[in-house]
Amino acid sequence: MNTEMRKALLDTCSQNYTDQPINNRLVMLTVGTIDTLLQEAGGHHALFQEWFGNPSVHDLTPAQKFALLTWAKPGVVDGRWVFDQSFIEEISEIAE
């Protein structure tokens, strides 16, 4: 995801976050997927440091977690967890 797209997503999600509960299991599922796709690039730590200024998922604010889930769009299809295809493609591009 290019810098402008990332900033727009995070700004929009942070502005639209309204203290709703965050499903931390979905956050960790998303982080696990990022780690799998970015194995050789250091996993989510380097990505989160660049994007959020913090490498740890445990230190993300609820608004940042909301932004991550809004981008990834996790959901269940035929009994399996899946993510938005653009999320997978963008993370794969980062890994290259």
Sign of CA dihedral 81, 87, 89, 91: negative
Decide if 35 contacts 43 (C-beta within 8 A). Answer: yes
Instruction: Kindly tell me if the per-residue pLDDT of 2 is higher than 70.
Output: no
Query: How far is the C-alpha of 10 from the C-alpha of 13, rounded, in Å?
Result: 5
More confident residue, 13 or 68: 68
The reported pTM is: 0.81
Arithmetic mean of pLDDT, 21-38? 91
Instruction: Kindly tell me if the per-residue pLDDT of 31 is higher than 90.
Output: yes
Residue 93 makes CB contacts below 8 A (sequence gap 6+) with: 1
Arithmetic mean of pLDDT, 5-30? 80
Tens digits of per-residue pLDDT, 37-61? Answer: 888 777 888 888 877 888 899 988 8
Q: DSSP letter for 19, please.
A: S
At 26, list the tokens.
């979905």
Residue-level pLDDT at 29 = 94
| CA 79 distance to own-chain centroid | 22
pLDDT band at 1 (very low <50, low <70, confident <90, very high): low
Residue-level pLDDT at 47 = 81
